[in-house]
Amino acid sequence: MLLCDFHIHTKYSDGSVGLRRTVDLFGQAGFDVIAITDHVVNGDNPFGKLANRFKFSVTGESFETYMSDIAEEAERAWDRYGLLIIPGVEITKNSFSSDKSAHLLLIDIKEFIPASWDYEKIFLEAKKQDALIVACHPHRTSDKTFVDTLFLWNNRDKYARYIDAWEIANRDDVFNVISLKKYPYIAGSDFHKVRHLYSWKSLLNCKKDMESIKQCIRSNWGVAITLFRN
């Protein structure tokens, strides 16, 4: 089984740990696969404007550098740890209302996708790039620092057909509603700080290459979760 974490933030958005140190933390902890998924924040409301102003978001201008740095670290991580690194982003549509907020992981992204696009356009462009689409922390969480992101769950009848997997566990939270709906699932840390290394993770029974990982997650065959502790 591959030990994986598909939800990781660095100093490229609102993470407190730089990209290289993040890679070393996961590599030294014995992980097989990780995805770097820094925020791409919508800039059409006060939340998004502040995030972009304080550089808590990957932008169209910084995306090329972001991808280049991930590619460089991916080569180093593979040589040193046998760790596969996948480039991704977290499309971040924040609102003052939980019912209007949604976050999406796009994993194995190739070209920049703005968070200000409407959902259908984001989904179709992600599909065009053959990126994995994951609805992250889709239900109520224990962290009350931020507004919950309920839009996708509340509108699942409309959008579930676009989504490859749902986060059934995020950091210390478990969302049993995903299991009850029998949706494809993964788990991730929503890593922002070193201590977040110790949290829910995904286990995949597949080869350590991008196409096998995508197929495993999309089919939801050979997927399990584990609570990773020190």
Question: How much of the chain exceeds pLDDT 70, in percent?
Answer: 96
Q: Nearest Cα to 225, choosing from 203, 209, 208, 207? A: 203
Q: Which domain holds residue 54?
A: 2-227
Other CB atoms within 10 A of residue 183 CB: 19
Q: Nearest Cα to 190, choosing from 137, 126, 133, 112? A: 137
Burial of 226 (0-12, 13-18, 19+ CB in 10 A): middle
3-state secondary structure of 123: helix
- Distance between CA atoms of residues 202 and 111, nearest Å: 26
pLDDT at 171: 96
Per-residue model confidence as pLDDT tens digits over 35-89: 999 999 987 766 666 666 657 899 999 999 999 999 999 999 999 999 999 999 9
Structural domain total, the chain: 1
Q: In this structure, what CATH number is given to the domain that contains residue 136?
A: 3.20.20.140
Per-residue model confidence as pLDDT tens digits over 15-34: 999 999 999 999 999 999 99
Q: What is the DSSP string of 68-99?
A: HHHHHHHHHHHHHH--EEEEEEEEEE--SSGG
